[in-house]
Amino acid sequence: MAEPSSYDRAHARLTAYMRANGLKITRQRELILQTFLEAQKHLSIEELLKLVRAQDGGVGHATVYRTMKLFVQADIASERHFTEGASLYEAEGEGEHDHHDHLICRDCGRILEFEDPEIERLQEEVARRLGFKLQDHRMELFGTCTTVDCEHATQ
Amino acid sequence: MAEPSSYDRAHARLTAYMRANGLKITRQRELILQTFLEAQKHLSIEELLKLVRAQDGGVGHATVYRTMKLFVQADIASERHFTEGASLYEAEGEGEHDHHDHLICRDCGRILEFEDPEIERLQEEVARRLGFKLQDHRMELFGTCTTVDCEHATQ
DNA sequence: ATACTTGCAAATGCTTTGCAAGCAG
DNA sequence: CTGCTTGCAAAGCATTTGCAAGTAT
């Protein structure tokens, strides 16, 4: 059996969400979905808009804003706020256990993802100790990466 | 020997910073410092402005914005972005080891601070494993607190 | 056909900045 | 006195929204 591509999966998720909520699949939404997934990195609305307009110059920025909010609702994307200013969007993975945190290079902007079950366990423990019922968390590590092309990469 | 109050300490820090940078101590800056420290909680510019204006109705909002940025530079306050929208400012503590993270109640808005050396150690380890030199981090836990007055508190 | 969507422009919310008048050192 | 500060208003950003025209179902 053929493996569904990440586009196929996301598209299926979108279709289901649309159907369930009486929404429509439009040319713009298809284009934005495809462009977003192809980029395979964290994108700001501005960057995404530029890529989308390379295919269809008539797309308005409000449409990209609205569509990305929709993708977040449909669990196709998630919104991140690593720095002040513009939000970044990243593609959502599969299962229940796709939670991850981020490591961000202050020199070159590279963003790495990681998971650490031991840290998560300790977070639960801290929350319990302080009388909280933990729902979720946000953790970002900032530093500098030592890759050869650091300083040169745009992201 | 008498214990210096947190106001005294902060004021000394401010004076030193001012002198070192050729800046001036004004009536507004004194008032904002005192008001900020007395509140003893995370404050938005808007909340702080309201408190300040209760003492001196003529203070402009730009002054509060500018002054809080100054306090951050002088290491008297730090700026946090727990949610989208307005930033919150919190008073900075003493020594080198006053780093802490936050636990935020989604029901009542309460903000608790905590430190966990073990988590910090694991963060260092993750960074090293991924080839990063860690500078700092941000970690916020979100959940619900089980205090009796939760849901009723404004913060 | 119906009602959701789009693109535009205008509005929003938070924050910053230009400027003339005021004040600290 | 010098030049840092203030308050006001206007500008700046990222994002949202109202609306008339367009389009998916």
Q: Tell whether A131 is within 8 A of chain B (Cβ).
A: yes
Percent of chain A scored above 90 by pLDDT?
A: 83
Q: A69 — contact with chain B (CB < 8 Å)?
A: no
3-state secondary structure labels for all residues of chain A: CCCCCHHHHHHHHHHHHHHHHCCCCCHHHHHHHHHHHHHCCCEEHHHHHHHHHHHCCCCCHHHHHHHHHHHHHCCCEEEECCCCCCCEEEECCCCCCCCCEEEEECCCCCEEEECCHHHHHHHHHHHHHCCEEEEEEEEEEEEEECCCCCCCCCC
Q: Is A135 on the interface with B (CB under 8 A)?
A: yes
Q: What is the average pLDDT across B32-59?
A: 98
Q: Residue B36 pLDDT > 60, yes or no?
A: yes
Whether B86 sits with its Cβ under 7 A from any strand C atom: the answer reads: yes
Tell me the per-residue pLDDT of A94-126, one tens digit each, with 9 for 90 and over: 765 568 999 999 988 899 999 999 999 999 999
Asked whether residue B60's C-beta has any atom of DNA/RNA strand D within 7 A, the reply is yes
For the whole prediction, is pTM greater than 0.85? Answer: yes
Average pLDDT (B111-137) is 96
Q: B151 pLDDT band (50/70/90 cuts)?
A: low
Instruction: Please state the rounded mean pLDDT for residues A58-74.
Output: 98
pLDDT per residue as tens digits for the range A42-63: 999 999 999 999 999 999 999 9
pLDDT of residue B99: 84
Query: Is A103–B130 a contact, with Cβ atoms under 8 angstroms apart?
Result: yes
